[in-house]
Amino acid sequence: MEKCVNMDETVIGMGKLNNDYITVDQYVEYFKKVFIKDIQLDKANAKFEKALNDDTYGRSVIKKDNIIYIKKYDLDDEVKLYKNSVDITFAAKAIIGYLGEEINSFRNISSLIIKRCNVYYIKLIHGKKRFISKDDLELISKKVNEVKEKKCIPKSQFLNMINNTFIGVEFSNLPHRIVVEFIRENNLEFIHRNFIGNFYSNGEFLYPQKTVNKVMEYLLNEYVKKKVKLFNITFEEYLELNKTDFENEYRALEKEDILDFEEP
């Protein structure tokens, strides 16, 4: 069970300035008792001294008679905020741990979190770290899980699947008229690049497995069977061809070659 310290019990009445402020020594003692990690307590005085020169904290930190004071109620608010927050480093590592390092880099995932969430500092505790709320992390986790459960693949992988399945049909991009319009006209699901659970590299659209299956079926029946002309090979044999065999054993026919196959 997490140990808690009542600020009233530890600092009220102990401040040399008044009941609204505590000294740096009292600040250090407080954090030793509440067990908040990663705070460099041995450098607390130097940190606040520097911040006073930069006016980082406004009236939350003041100095009088060479003694630095921290406003108790502001500190109390930040402790509550801290306990309901996670730093961006933790959030990015959690996403990589779930999706795998091959999805995107730590740096890019951190940048996407910053773009999509309300990011803030908790200056009286960690002056440089950036945080998001635990609620935001929970939402991200839920949406990342949704992407994984739907077995989504990025646009580039979808394009490679099409080109490697239908040998000789080479698209440089997902064809708008053939694929994109089919998806929209049939209300098939796709995931936008700005979706909070999409952390794939290059900001690609994602396509769930159900959508991929529908598109591949459509391409087979409505495009490939009509566009690909076969001679001395069945359609099933064509579908079993791999790209290497196709490139080594087949060539594109010229017009006169095609005429030779036509009946007299």
Please write the tens of the pLDDT for every residue from 85-135.
999 999 999 999 888 777 888 899 999 999 999 999 998 888 789 999 999
Please write the tens of the pLDDT for every residue from 55-68.
777 788 888 888 88
Q: Give 191's DSSP letter.
A: B
Segments making up each domain of the chain, as ranges: 7-81, 85-146, 153-261
Query: Can you tell me whether residue 9 is helix, strand or coil?
Result: helix
**Which runs of E-coded beta strand occur in 192-251?**
206-207
Closest CA to 66 of 85, 89, 48, 86: 48
**Looking at the whole model, is its pTM more than 0.85?**
no
Q: Dihedrals φ, ψ of 198, to 5°?
A: -95, 105
Query: So what's the pLDDT on residue 217?
Result: 92
